[in-house]
Chain A
Amino acid sequence: MISAPGILFEGEATIEGRRLFAPLSLTLDAGRWTCLLGGSGVGKTTVLRLLADLPTGADFVGSITATDGTNVADQIAYMAQDDLLLPWATVEKNIVLGARLRGQRADEARLARLLDRCGLREHLGKRPSALSGGQRQRVALARTLMEDKPIILLDEPFSALDAQTRASMQDLAVELLAGRTVLMVTHDPGEAARLGHAIHVMTSEGLTSVLPPDIAVPRAVDAIETLTCQSDLLRLLMGQAA
């Protein structure tokens, strides 16, 4: 299995002199899921994009370090709310996009394994427009995994799905991303309560860490601990919004 580093993110960000988020320190434990929960506009996506070294429009002062001293942005795979599937390419070509963009051969054995585990084998030759929203996100997940990177950055990847599809995607993601260092940005307290080994609520004042339920991830949607945690998180979000 892949050996994933932990990450320490420290710093603050401003947009045109206006503070986006206060100085904060965020630790992503190696091989674990960290959920960053917050409302719109608190800068949680900016944190994720800074980790990925993507353009943010914000001025960031701080540091991003991996526990093994490697460069974080070189080892990430990224998945967003928009599945970002190329509409003109088949499912297969979309999944192996990374290799094609680097001019490398795709790892056929890996592709075959991922197709089976994501249940995409019969859709291989289809265009994204022929797939449902859930199937499209499975293709996006397979594309993310095809990259085989130790750090996975998820930017509300399941927020556009209906409730039952979202729950099954969460299960699949936990299964397939096991052992990797995952940062999931979300605005859904239920999602954070199900998936986070560590949960941080982000507001303009900074981060508040919440102790997640002491049961294995993915936690059952109907477990009392999950539901309690979910309502605690929601209360935290609402209280600080007021």
Chain B
Amino acid sequence: MKIFPALAATVFAVAIWQLIVSITDLPRFILPGPLLVAETWWTNLAVIAEHTLVTAQEVLIGLAIGTALGIVTALHLATSKTARMLVQPILVFTQALPVFALAPILTLWLGYGLWSKVAMAVLIIYFPVTSAFFDGLMRTPSGYLDLAKTMQASPFRVLWLIRVPAALPSLGAGVRLAAVYAPIGAVIGEWVGASKGLGYLMLLANGRAKTDLMFAAMLTLGVLSVFLYLMVAKLTRLLGDRES
């Protein structure tokens, strides 16, 4: 991501936002201006930081577990025809279910704490990671497989030395997508039942008509997501470049 164009676009969007607020003269609980939001953000920095840390923790743990589960599932599907026949239809079916609807149940099962939010994040990112990596594993260039066959390779070593490395870029794409989805999962979990986190803070601010604080929390979440995305993108690129 180039810094300058991104910055210019942000300044432009904020300017339009301020312009709308100035022209329409809307009450601050309907649409607070960017200056007010910035001010609120600054005066509530300690509170926002505390809740951000909670959400960030949920997201990172969720991302780690979801990615690990996705990798294991994809490897299983790619190496076993039986697994493909049994698991793939179920996997697709579960994607048709709205995961959001599960949030209250997850809270019931796992409590108000960290783990119901982690579970939500995991549920949301599991499929994109699995599907991206699995696709990569099934699309090994056939020439490599021909070569491996003439070399009397063992299936496990073909997987480890050829199919997995060839699928790493696909996995990277899946994990980058997951980095964007995971915060959404965590926040949904917080909406349903929590006493901490940015999602909780948003709900709280909304209930008290503190729309400026709601905006401040929401924008913080956005920044967190972008930051996470950039970190993951950097990490996956490093992995893709590694010596085999």
- Could you tell me the distance between the alpha carbons of A100 and B154 in the complex, rounded to whole angstroms? 10
Name B197-244 residues within 8 Å CB distance of A.
240, 242-244
- Could you tell me the distance between the alpha carbons of A93 and B243 in the complex, rounded to whole angstroms? 10
The answer to whether B150 and A101 touch across the interface, beta carbons within 8 angstroms, is: no
Contact with B along A53-73 (1 / 0, CB 8 A): 111000000000000000001
The answer to whether A82 and B157 touch across the interface, beta carbons within 8 angstroms, is: no
Q: Does B22 contact A (CB under 8 A)?
A: no
The answer to whether B165 and A84 touch across the interface, beta carbons within 8 angstroms, is: no
The answer to whether B147 and A84 touch across the interface, beta carbons within 8 angstroms, is: yes
Closest 3 CB pairs of A and B: A101-B153, A98-B151, A78-B150
Instruction: Give the nearest-CB partner of B165 in chain A.
Output: A88
Contact with A along B132-167 (1 / 0, CB 8 A): 000000000001101111111110011001100110
Residues of B within 8 A of A (CB): 143-144, 146-154, 157-158, 161-162, 165-166, 168, 240, 242-244
List of B residues within 8 angstroms of A89 by Cβ: 165, 244
The answer to whether A100 and B157 touch across the interface, beta carbons within 8 angstroms, is: yes
Q: Which of A76, A82, A84, A90 sits near B243, CB closer than 8 Å?
A: A90
Instruction: Give the nearest-CB partner of A89 in chain B.
Output: B244
21 pairs of residues in contact across A and B, judged by CB atoms under 8 Å: A49-B146, A54-B146, A54-B149, A78-B150, A80-B143, A80-B147, A84-B143, A84-B144, A86-B144, A88-B165, A88-B240, A88-B244, A89-B244, A97-B147, A97-B161, A98-B153, A100-B161, A101-B157, A101-B162, A102-B152, A102-B157
Closest CB-CB distance, A54 to chain B, in whole Å?
5
Instruction: Give the nearest-CB partner of B157 in chain A.
Output: A101
Q: Does A205 contact B (CB under 8 A)?
A: no
Interface band, chain A: 20 to 34
Closest CB-CB distance, A93 to chain B, in whole Å?
6
List of B residues within 8 angstroms of A88 by Cβ: 165, 168, 240, 242, 244
Q: A84-B144, A86-B144, A88-B165 are in contact. Are A102 and B150 (CB under 8 A)?
A: no
List of B residues within 8 angstroms of A73 by Cβ: 150
The answer to whether A76 and B150 touch across the interface, beta carbons within 8 angstroms, is: yes
Name, among A76, A93, A100, A103, the residue most crowded by chain B CB atoms within 10 Å (CB to CB).
A100
List of B residues within 8 angstroms of A191 by Cβ: none
Q: Does A52 contact B (CB under 8 A)?
A: yes
- Could you tell me the distance between the alpha carbons of A74 and B148 in the complex, rounded to whole angstroms? 12
Closest CB-CB distance, B21 to chain A, in whole Å?
52
List of B residues within 8 angstroms of A98 by Cβ: 151, 153
Instruction: Give the nearest-CB partner of B147 in chain A.
Output: A84
List of A residues within 8 angstroms of B150 by Cβ: 52, 54, 73, 76-78
List of B residues within 8 angstroms of A12 by Cβ: none
List of A residues within 8 angstroms of B162 by Cβ: 86, 101
Q: Does A29 contact B (CB under 8 A)?
A: no
The answer to whether A78 and B146 touch across the interface, beta carbons within 8 angstroms, is: yes
